[in-house]
Amino acid sequence: MKSSEEKIFVEIKQMYCYSAIHKIVFAFVFLCTLLISLFYSQKLIAQNISATLKADSTHILIGDFLNLKLNINFSNDLIVSMPKVTDSIGHMELVKASTIDTSINNNSTTLSQSFIVSAYDSGNYFAGPQKIYFKTKSGAIDSLITDSILITVRTIAVDTSKAFKPIKPPLEVPYSWQEFIPLYIGGFILVASIIALILYVRYRRKNRKPKIIERPKPKDLPHVWARRELKKLEEEKLWQQDEVKKYYSRLTDILRLYLEYRFNWLALESTTEEIKEQINSYSMNVEAKNLLLKMLSNADMVKFAKIIPAPATNIKSVESAFHFIDLTEQKDLKTEEKINV
Amino acid sequence: MEEITTNTTVDIAALNERINRESAFIDLLNLELGKTIVGQKYMVERLLLALLSNGHILLEGVPGLAKTLAIKSLAAAIHAKFSRIQFTPDLLPADLIGTMIYSQKENDFSVKKGPVFANFVLADEINRAPAKVQSALLEAMQEKQVTIGDKTFLLEEPFLVLATQNPIEQEGTYPLPEAQVDRFMLKAVINYPKKDEEQLIIRQNMQLVDKTINPVVRKEEIMNARKTVRDIYMDEKIERYILDIVFATRKPEEYKLAKLKPLISYGGSPRASINLAVASKAYAFIKRRGYVIPEDVRAICYDVMRHRVGLTYEAEAENITPEDVISEILNAVEVP
């Protein structure tokens, strides 16, 4: 048993010795490969990618804008990442950055981006350097750094021998009509709202005023209708049957309705006194006016004061009504219609 | 009326003659009132209407429109007892109707009658007193009797309450409840006088002329006139016209006035119909007519109805007044 245990121990020891040698060899080979690859890659970069940062001036006035342009030219087998510029390039503050412009030739690509930068204190500032990362065909990641540009920011020369002057007031920019568009629109809406409100209030008030009561109008012309109704009244022989009040009520109702149909006058809802007050607003001659008022006041006496007129008066009343209609009928009728009447 | 010549019924003619005879005092009254009151024909006419209709009147108007002066002058122009009560928040019913006073001499309670025991009672600013005082007066107005202790006293005829109220000062007032305001036959709204009338008022006030009102009418004349007013002929058509107006305030939709329905909370009571009829007769009397015509009804309709038509909140929000509602009704109801 003992010998077998010793045998196993020796085997394990030999196994450890072999693995240590293997590790050393592997490390040596790896280092050699890395050094060779680095040497070759540097050589490739130098040949396949270049980056420049150019400024249109090296001297600016304080607060002035300076244009910078970054150009990266590289072979198509490289993948280049443009540097991300957020608020400054070197010590210069970024005002505006253009979009990245890409131009591809046969074997190379050029990326370019323009920047507007500025500085708000006098002195010397560096614009850049900008670090550019790229990936080689083999997958290695490397970077490239552009040159930095020294920019001198000058202040305005002040003649201290002269007296100090106050700060100039802000310049007044002339107004343009476009600036007033919101005001025009607002004003228009305001005026329109006020007009709408006034119209609404008027409409409500108008609605509150007594409206003309709509009664169905006869199909015939007012005078045709009135004459027919008066004829009917005569045929009913009301006063002959001691229905004098009813007779005069019917007579005045016909006359009042005729006034409504002929003159659009709400006479059925008006008292005799009110008709007397309003009569001058309607176009009828003096004879017609007097005749109407006389008929209405006579009828009132019969209707409300127990007065019984003589038979001759009853006959004359309806004749007067016919005469009133003759005096006030519409004159612009066609001949045929008149004949039918 | 020229054409109507024969068969005139005797009673109307006799009535017209009677009215002409008995209404003569109206001219005398107007002359006397004219000494102190300039213009305000409407107010004076309404006071006469109340006097002739045996109804009470509530005058509403801003201060300075001679409401109190008109009532005082009317009372002074009639041989009658007049008393004035200035309604205040601390007024008690006993201050109005009277109370029982203990007499040490007789060792018993005796009745001390209040100012309500008069023919003409001027209740100035009636809405300034609390409800219990208003109720005491309004009870006297309706029953024409007053109970003090265990004794009931009838009020002497003519008994007329002429109340005033100011519509602009609402703070510290007790508005009359609808049921109580209904006891007033008329509610007249007094407006400012016309420009030339006001000029005359200025001139009159500058002059040092005696403006004492002399009594020109006796109580009996008023009582006789009241009887005549009741005898004035009112045709059935006029009665129907009155009913139509009052019913239109209750059921406007039946008179093609459906739009008024949401505006009216309650319409005129039967007391409105009675008062409209009596006041129309009184108006015909003033106009020296023995019969009532639709114009009479229209002339007094606003004064009889304006405090009897209750408006809804909707109407109040729309600034609609009872007068607007009455106008709509008068324009819609057919005249007989």
Q: CB of A143 within 8 Å of any CB in chain B?
A: no
Token pair listed for A226 = 């009135």
pLDDT for residue B7? 45
Subunit contact A269:B233, Cβ cutoff 8 A:
no
User: Among all chains, which residue has been given the structure tokens 């409209």?
Assistant: B276
pLDDT value at A2 more than 80: no
Average the pLDDT over B120-139 and give the result: 85
Rounded Cα distance between B92 and B102, Å, is 19
Judge contact between A262 and A222, C-beta under 8 A: yes
How far is A224 from chain B, CA to nearest CA, in Å?
Answer: 23
Answer whether A20 touches B (CB < 8 Å): no
Mention every residue, 6+ apart, whose C-beta is less than 8 A from residue B67: B43, B59, B61, B164, B190
Mean pLDDT check: name the lowest of A32-41, A80-89, A197-206: A32-41
Looking at the predicted structure, is the pLDDT value of residue A45 above 60? no
DSSP string over B248-273: HHH-GGGGT-GGGGGGEEE---HHHH
Q: Give the separation between CA B181 and CA B272, rounded to whole angstroms.
A: 12
Q: Which residues of B touch A270 (CB under 8 A)?
A: 335
Task: Flag whether pLDDT at A193 surpasses 90.
Answer: yes
CA distance A331 to chain B (A): 30
Which residue on chain A is closest to B233 by alpha carbon?
A: A305
pTM above 0.80, yes or no: no
- pLDDT tens for A124-167 read 888 888 888 888 888 888 888 888 889 999 888 778 888 888 88
Average pLDDT score, chain A: 81
The span from the CA of B315 to the CA of A18, in Å, is: 112
Q: What residues in B contact A294, CB-CB < 8 Å?
A: 2-3
Q: Is A48 on the interface with B (CB under 8 A)?
A: no
Please give the residue of chain B at the shortest CA–CA distance from A268: B334
- Beta strand segments in B87-195, E: 98-103, 108-113, 120-124, 145-148, 151-154, 160-165, 186-189
Which of B233, B237, B324 has the CB atom closest to A208's CB atom? B324
Q: What's the gap in Å between the CA of B25 and the closest CA on chain A?
A: 24
* pLDDT for the residue numbered A8: 65
H helices present in B1-85, as ranges? 10-22, 24-36, 41-53, 67-77
Q: Are B218 and B79 in contact (CB under 8 A)?
A: yes
Confidence of residue A15 (pLDDT cuts 50, 70, 90): low
The pLDDT value recorded for residue A338 is 45
The C-alpha atoms of residue B312 and residue B305 are separated, in whole angstroms, by: 16
Interface probe, candidates B1, B256, B300, chain A, greatest A C-beta count within 10 A = B1
Nearest CA in chain B to A320: B3
Q: Which residues of A168-201 are buried (b: 16+ CB within 10 A; e: fewer)?
A: eeeeeeeeeeeeeeeeeeeeeeeeeeeeeeeeee
B17 at A interface, C-beta within 8 A: no
Q: Is B210 on the interface with A (CB under 8 A)?
A: no
* B132 touches B93 (CB < 8 A): yes
Q: In this complex, do B290 and A313 lie within 8 Å of one another by their Cβ atoms?
A: no
Domain boundaries, chain B: 10-220, 232-332
Check residue A214 and give its pLDDT: 63
What's the pLDDT at A42? 41
CATH superfamily of B10-220: P-loop containing nucleotide triphosphate hydrolases (3.40.50.300)
Query: What pLDDT digit, counting tens, does each position of A262-309 carry?
Result: 888 888 888 888 888 888 888 888 888 888 888 888 888 888 888 888
Whether A308 has its CB under 8 Å from any CB of chain B: the answer is: yes
Which residue, B47, B10, B307, is CA-closest to B167?
Answer: B307
Q: Find the mean pLDDT for residues A167-176.
A: 86
What mean pLDDT is predicted for residues B305-311? 90
- Position A339 pLDDT exceeds 70: no
CB contact under 8 A, B331 and A266: yes
Coil, strand or helix at A192? helix
Question: B-chain residues within 8 Å CB-CB of A208?
Answer: 318, 320, 324
Q: What percentage of residues in chain B have a pLDDT greater than 90? A: 14
Contact yes or no for B121/B108 (Cβ under 8 A): no
Q: Distance between CA B48 and CA B50 in Å, rounded?
A: 5
Give Cβ neighbours of residue B320 (< 8 Å, ≥ 6 apart).
Answer: A208, B263, B311
ipTM of the assembly?
0.71
Tell me whether B1 touches chain A (CB under 8 Å).
yes
CB within 8 Å of A230: residues ≥ 6 apart: A251, A254, A318, A321, A322, A325
Does the pLDDT of residue A334 top 60, yes or no? no
Q: Do B8 and A308 touch (CB under 8 A)?
A: yes
For A276, name the nearest residue in chain B, comparing CA atoms only: B295
Q: How many CA atoms lie within 13 A of B274 on its CB side?
A: 10
Residue B314: per-residue pLDDT? 86
Does residue A205 sit at the B interface (CB-CB below 8 Å)?
Answer: no
Tokens read off for B67: 């409401």
How many Å apart are CA B243 and CA B34, to the nearest integer?
36
**Hey, is the C-beta of B178 within 8 angstroms of any chain A C-beta?**
no
What does the alpha-carbon distance between residue B95 and residue B86 come to, in Å, rounded to a whole number?
A: 11
B97 forms beta bridges with none
Of the listed ranges A164-168, A194-198, B183-187, the one predicted with least confidence: A164-168
Give the CATH class of B232-332: mainly alpha
Q: Which of A39-43, A155-159, A231-235, B13-17 has the lowest mean pLDDT?
A: A39-43
Chain B residues whose beta carbon lies within 8 Å of the beta carbon of residue A316: 3
To 10 degrees, the CA torsion angle through A170, A175, A181, A182?
20
Contact flag A271-B233 (C-beta cutoff 8 Å): no
Chain A residue with CA closest to B7: the answer is A308
Is residue B216 scored above 50 in pLDDT?
yes
A307: closest chain B residue by CA:
B8
Q: What is the mean pLDDT of residues A225-239?
A: 88
Interface check for A206 against chain B (CB to CB < 8 A): the answer is no
Rounded-to-10 torsion of CA B122, B126, B131, B137: 10
Span between the terminal Cα atoms of chain B, in Å: 19
Residue B3 is predicted with a pLDDT of 45
Q: Between chains, do B3 and A302 touch, taking CB under 8 Å as contact?
A: no
CB–CB contact A306 B291 (8 Å): yes
Please tell me what DSSP assigns to residue B177. Answer: P
By 3-state DSSP, what share of chain B in percent is helix, strand and coil, each rounded to 5?
50, 15, 35
Yes or no, beta carbons of B335 and A273 under 8 Å apart: no
Which residues in chain B are closer than 8 Å to A266, comparing Cβ atoms? 331
Report the share of chain B in percent with pLDDT over 70.
95
Q: State yes or no: cis peptide before A129, omega within 30 of 0.
A: yes
For B99, which DSSP code?
E
Nearest CA-CA partner of B280 in B271, B291, B264? B291
Is A208 within 8 Å of B318 when comparing Cβ atoms?
yes
Q: Which of A210-224, A296-310, B282-296 has the lowest mean pLDDT?
A: A210-224
Cis peptide before B175 (omega within 30 of 0): no
Q: Give CA–CA dist B55/B278, Å, rounded.
A: 9
- Does A249 score more than 60 pLDDT? yes
By CA distance, what is B335's nearest residue in A?
A269
CA distance A37 to B312: 101
Query: How open is the CA angle B142-B147-B148, to the nearest 5 degrees?
Result: 145
- Residue A84's pLDDT band, with cuts at 50, 70 and 90, is confident
Q: Which pLDDT value is given to residue B283?
A: 92
Between CA A227 and CA B185 the distance in angstroms is 46
**B287 inside 8 A of chain A by CB:** no
- Give B279 to chain A, closest Cα distance, Å: 16
DSSP A94-135: EEEEPPPEEEE-SSEEEEEEEEEEE-SS-EEEEE---EEEEE
Give the minimum alpha-carbon distance from B188 to chain A in angstroms, rounded to a whole number: 22
| d(C-alpha A269, C-alpha A292), whole Å | 16
Q: What percent of chain A has pLDDT over 70?
A: 83
Tell me whether A268 touches chain B (CB under 8 Å).
yes
Mean pLDDT, all residues of chain B: 85
pLDDT of residue B301: 93
Q: How confident is the model at residue A142, as a pLDDT?
A: 85
pLDDT on residue B130: 86
For residue B230, give how far its alpha carbon lies from the nearest alpha carbon of chain A (Å).
Answer: 15
In angstroms, the CA A253 to CA A273 distance is 16
Residue A245: predicted pLDDT: 86
Compute CA distances A95 → A59, A60, A154, whole Å.
17, 15, 18
CA atoms within 13 A on the CB side of A320: 23
Q: Is the pLDDT of residue B135 over 70?
A: yes
Whether pLDDT at B276 is above 60: yes
Nearest chain A residue to B292, by CA: A304
pLDDT band at A213 (very low <50, low <70, confident <90, very high): low
Q: What is the pLDDT of residue A83?
A: 85
